[in-house]
Amino acid sequence: MDCLAPRRSGLFETGNRLRGWHFNGLLLKCLPPLAALMDPLSAQEAFIIAKKIVRLVVALAAIAVAATLFAQQGTKPAKAAEGTLMLQGKNYPMAHALAYESTVNEEELIVVVLSGQAIPGEKLKEAREKERDGDESDFKRPYIKLQFTKEGALKFWSASAGNTSLGRRLGNATGELKLQDGRVSGKASQPNETEEMFSAGFDVRFDVALLRAGESLPATVAKQPGPAANVKPSVTGAFKGNGKEAKLAHVSAHWREPFNNQPSIVLVFSEKDHSKDKKPDFDAGFGKFGSALIISLNQDGEIFGCQVVHTAHKKQGFSSIGQIKTNNFEFADGKVQGELTTDGQAEVFGETWEVNLKFVAPLGEIPKEFQIADSEKPEKLSEKAAPETAKDQLNVKDLALTKDASDVEYKEVVEHLLFKSKANVKSVCAELSANLKTQGWTKEGSDLITPASSILKRKRGNAELTIFVKPENGGSQVQIFTEGLSWDEK
């Protein structure tokens, strides 16, 4: 059949070659008229033959479409991001990427962020605003941020993971970026520099759509409240203390008082069944259910409390904030699920521990007592509050402490304050809260107070305090992160 003579380039190739639907059209043209097939004595047989020919046409069309899709998919990258960030001896896989145009210090740049979890649209908007104002933007840890010129040269990089953050730098890093058809692709790397104060290195690749100036990600869909899902709680993985394994077989999720004006969740993992206990987080912290792990976090998986209880530890129930993170955390459809990991062994108070768990647990609507009142929700300001003048700023050395505060250290470079007290954690928190209240400081969110560690947040005008209290040598050690205080010599 001359009308079906194949071209040299092949049946399903593109360009000036035959496409699949062209072939089908030609095939239909080559069909003889149905009347020619009609045997006066066998019209039914002719009808059957025609049906078979139509089926053949449909099958060939399906093959053509499949071939076209296969060719298109073959040109797409397998992953938007891949690679590893190495920071302080730990490796963090990068699975997500975001690229956007931004103005940094009045220079137009292309910013590529690789992270362990997807980046919400609200975070991108916040990052662009900070960069426009000359501030450093940040994202959910772990992440690495690469800043390229419009020509594709790597200008700066920064990264954060665990409790370590590295600001803008270039060092020995190399990288390249190419922009084509609305996508940016490239790579960047730096050898792991273990001799530096903060050992760091990375090796990453990316291929992702570029968000132009004015373009944004879709807003995060608000989680709809609903009943707890009919799902069986389960936990798998490893939990070690001083090298010894403990089998965490039970997990539960509960709402707790808000922290930092955000709804908060507590996850309880334990060796023994705690499902009938009215205060599982409290009792698990004192070893009632064997080895246990109590995690406090918000709905996005940001951890702000971690209590470690392991029978192999001499000192049980200590806090290890910053040593643990979530991966692929999700709260939706009446359940929470995700992963918990320390990315290897962590050391606290001379004890070692590590965890790598995967879990799922039902969690329903927020009880009224744990819902955030509208009056407590943070207001969105159209403009930044005017900074306080120097005469209005409280000097750090006038900050209210406990009466028996000793070994006071003022670290001006990082604006941290440290001191010790002979009282226990709970007593120090009570006295410090009362003294700060008298000085005009107000509470930000709910305090997290446990025998192992405590976190307090206070605000006074434009100044803020984040206070960590932990036990030490029969007393307590207090570390205060300050913002907005005067550090001038008195």
The residues, ordered by sequence, that sit 6+ positions from 142 with a Cβ below 8 Å of its Cβ are 85, 87, 92, 94, 115, 116, 159, 160, 161, 162, 325
Span 231-246, average pLDDT: 96
Confidence of residue 77 (pLDDT cuts 50, 70, 90): very low
Burial class (CB in 10 A: 0-12, 13-18, 19+), 295: buried
* 137 burial type by CB count under 10 A (0-12 exposed, 13-18 middle, 19+ buried): buried
Let me know if 294 is exposed, middle or buried by CB neighbors in 10 A (0-12, 13-18, 19+): buried
Predicted local distance difference test score (pLDDT) of residue 225? 60
pLDDT of residue 45: 60
d(CA 158, CA 206): 16
- Return the higher-pLDDT residue of 316 and 76: 316
Sole residue written with tokens 């608000």: 222
Average pLDDT over residues 383-400: 66
Instruction: Please write the tens of the pLDDT for every residue from 411-461.
Output: 877 788 889 999 998 899 999 999 999 898 998 877 878 877 788 888 888
Neighbours of 106 (CB within 10 A): 7
HEC readout, 318-351: EECCCCCEEEEEEEECCEEEEEEECCCCEEECCE
List the alpha helices (DSSP H) in 267-413: 280-285
Q: Over 90: is that where the pLDDT of 315 sits?
A: no
Residue 297's DSSP bridge partners are 265, 303
Residues 49-72 have pLDDT tens digits of 656 665 665 555 555 544 444 444
| Nearest Cα to Cα of residue 446 among 268, 303, 256, 266 | 256
Structure tokens at 482: 């300050």
pLDDT above 70 covers a percentage of the chain that reads 77
Nearest Cα neighbor of 118 from 139, 135, 136 is: 139
- 138-147: average pLDDT: 90
**pLDDT tops 50 at residue 281:** yes
Question: In the numeric block, which tokens belong to residue 352?
Answer: 């070692």
CA distance 481 to 458: 11
Buried b (16+ CB within 10 A) or exposed e, 250-274: bbbbbbbebbbebbbbbbbbbbeeb
- Alpha-carbon dihedral sign for residues 395, 398, 402, 406: positive
Residue 300, pLDDT score: 78
Q: Is the pLDDT of residue 95 over 70?
A: yes
* Lowest-pLDDT range of 36-40, 359-363, 402-406, 474-478: 36-40
C-alpha to C-alpha distance for 122 and 140, rounded to whole angstroms: 12
Copy the structure tokens of residue 203: 């090796």
Q: Measuring CA to CA, how many Å separate 463 from each of 9, 115, 138?
A: 72, 31, 20
Query: Among 157-171, 285-299, 305-319, 394-408, where is mean pLDDT lowest?
Result: 157-171
What's the pLDDT band for 356 if we cut at 50, 70, 90? very high
Global pTM reads 0.51
Beta bridge partners of 253: 267
Q: Is the pLDDT of residue 381 over 60?
A: no
Name the percent of the chain lying above pLDDT 90. Answer: 37
| pLDDT level of residue 402 (50, 70, 90 thresholds) | very high
